[in-house]
Structure 1
Amino acid sequence: MIKHGMHVVHDGRREAPPLLLVHGSGASGDFWSPLVPALAEHHHVIRVDLPGCGQSPPVPSFRVPEQASRVATLLDDLGLRQVAVAGHSSGGYLATALAEQRPDLVGSIALISTGPSPDALLPQPLIIRVLLAPPLGPILWARRSDSLLRKGISATTARAVEITDELIAGIRPITYRTMRAVLRENTAYLAERSVPDRLAGLEVPVLVIFGDADPRWEPASAQQYALVPNTRIELLSGVGHVPMIEAPAETSRPLLDFAKRHKFAP
């Protein structure tokens, strides 16, 4: 189902407490699939493909506040309030922007592998840099094989993982132009103000989950979130940038416990 330019998938009972899952750059809602069975036992799970990703068409602007505004409109249409929102990587920026714009919609925020500030960014894996850097990047991107896509995902993990055809199908529609635009807008959002600084001014419970072997963001930077009131930080041992596919059980446990402690009615 496409609503407000986004492909939307629902799992679990509609009357259960709502949990919105927002993927990161170069991904799709399918990246949450390993967690969905456990989460849907207790929640009305809502997954979106952000514009230009998965089954969602691209849009003229990928600015983070505009993305958040689209999600807000979706939640309004669903009649939901005080939703638990989980964002992976740059999906955490959208979750934060949503809470900034519409605090009535967000009951709690879970940030998974969300870089807190520009200085926390590590030198990116070589294959990622090659795929994104002009002039070779656009050519390789247009010709990228499923094998190359799997290598790109694997470069961000610390554990050996199965990268399913479902995951590949969700990222194949992403164009080079969309990817570059999304990354540019994410960078602008983070450079304007760090995520911990943004969250410190919001009265919302926050869960931070970070892999202690994340190759994209300095794992120790998770402690930057300690300055945010009512924040819990969980470090996952031997896990990289994509805990949902590297360690689904280890990721879902703190997420479920956090959502239970901060449970809001729809």
Structure 2
Amino acid sequence: MKRATLGPDHLLPGHEDPPPWPGREVRLDGSVTYVRDTPATAPGAEPALYVHGLGGSSQNWTDLAGLLADRLDGQAVDLPGFGLSEPGRRYTIPAFADRLVRLIEHAGRGPVHLLGNSLGGAISVRVAALRPDLVRTLTLVSPALPFLDFRRSLQGRMLPVLALPRGERLVGWQLARVAPEVMEQQMMESSVADLTRISEQRRREALEEIRARYHAEHHAAAYVRTFRGLVSSFLRSYLRGAESLWRMAAAVPMPTLVIGGSQDRLVDVRVAPQAARVIPDSRLLMLDGVGHVAQMEVPRTVARAVLGLLAETEDAGTRRDMAG
């Protein structure tokens, strides 16, 4: 593990709030996966895939994908049951990882620069470990890798619901009683340390997305079942066996950037440094005063860290070519 380096800020475009990137439906294995494209703005840009966290969507990457469009030809995916993607049959880390693999193979864009936040980080670790042929570099933003002290997460309050056979019905009933505006505020407060860093445009988009979820019958079930699958993966990771996410993290072979926020209220703040220690070729960036979604709260800083990762990998490739 080493400290992450930040690329020059002047290499990024100016400050602006782009609208959500255009999306399209991709039919995979009989169901629709929604993908937003951030087309490259310069020749030679390399393919990238962005993966959101629990309860999020492809819109969580709007700013970062725009900042990196000069270097990365981006696609941001809505995981099954979230955003505008159709519900999935299973809501487990292996099932989500299989969908990402299918998407990369279907698009024929691999290997990609893979970026994942929270749940998306855990899924991305599995993809990188099991299918390294599809991944150039890995970037993990507050990855939801296993930890056992759920007092360190606001989502720990959800644990009793997992014991209920039809917990999604209770969650759906509770959601219906909360106004969308209140829900948006609660979600922002739980994931962002400084709300002044989130523009009004992004707040409006988040509110629109929440309102759309109120009309999606599958949303509560997808959320609860995904959370249940995530907790199950946590428990398995502390047992013997190949399914341990920590064991998979130790097998990730490609250059990896790990970013954590000191004010993360959803994932134990000790997870990001632990991930950087476990992953062999890693660099760590801990952001003081930042919450769970650094790519939304401080996108320019995250973009500069990704530029630093890309520069390192390019330099290493050049040295190998010269040595050859």
TM-score (norm 2): 0.74
Q: CA RMSD in A?
A: 2.5
Indicate whether 1:144 and 2:190 are aligned.
no
Does the Cα contact within 8 Å between 2:249 and 2:278 map onto a contact in 1? Answer: no
Deviations along 1:174-195, whole A, 9 cap, x unmatched?
6211100111111222322254
Sort the Cα spacing of 1:121 and 1:249 in 2 relative to 1 into closer, same or farther, 3 A: farther
Does the residue aligned with 2:191 lie in a helix, a strand or coil? coil
* Corresponding residue pairs, total: 263
Does the Cα contact within 8 Å between 1:130 and 1:136 map onto a contact in 2? Answer: no
- Residue segments in structure 2 that go unaligned for 5+ positions in a row: 1-23, 162-166, 238-243, 318-324
1:87 pairs with one of 91, 95, 116 = 116
Deviation at residue 119 of structure 1 after TM alignment: 2.4
Indicate whether 1:50 and 2:79 are aligned.
yes
**Paired residue type of 1:181:** R
Does the residue aligned with 1:40 lie in a helix, a strand or coil? coil
Does the Cα contact within 8 Å between 1:132 and 1:180 map onto a contact in 2? Answer: no
Deviation at residue 2 of structure 1 after TM alignment: 1.5
Does the Cα contact within 8 Å between 2:50 and 2:77 map onto a contact in 1? Answer: yes
* 1:180-219 correspondence runs (5 A): 180-193=224-237, 195-219=245-269
Deviation at residue 121 of structure 1 after TM alignment: 4.1
**Which whole-Å CA distance do the structure 2 matches of 1:89 and 1:31 have between them?**
11
Identity score, percent = 27
Sort the Cα spacing of 1:168 and 1:131 in 2 relative to 1 into closer, same or farther, 3 A: farther
- Residue segments in structure 1 that go unaligned for 5+ positions in a row: none
User: Corresponding residue for 1:247?
Assistant: 298
**Which whole-Å CA distance do the structure 1 matches of 2:160 and 2:138 have between them?**
30
* 1:67-216 correspondence runs (5 A): 67-119=96-148, 121-125=150-154, 129=157, 133=161, 137-153=171-187, 154-160=189-195, 161-162=198-199, 163-171=202-210, 172-173=212-213, 175-193=219-237, 195-216=245-266
Does the Cα contact within 8 Å between 1:12 and 1:42 map onto a contact in 2? Answer: no
User: Corresponding residue for 1:2?
Assistant: 25
Of the two, which has the highest radius of gyration? 2
Sort the Cα spacing of 1:11 and 1:199 in 2 relative to 1 into closer, same or farther, 3 A: same
**Paired residue type of 1:139:** W
**Paired residue type of 2:227:** L
**Which whole-Å CA distance do the structure 1 matches of 2:137 and 2:248 have between them?**
14
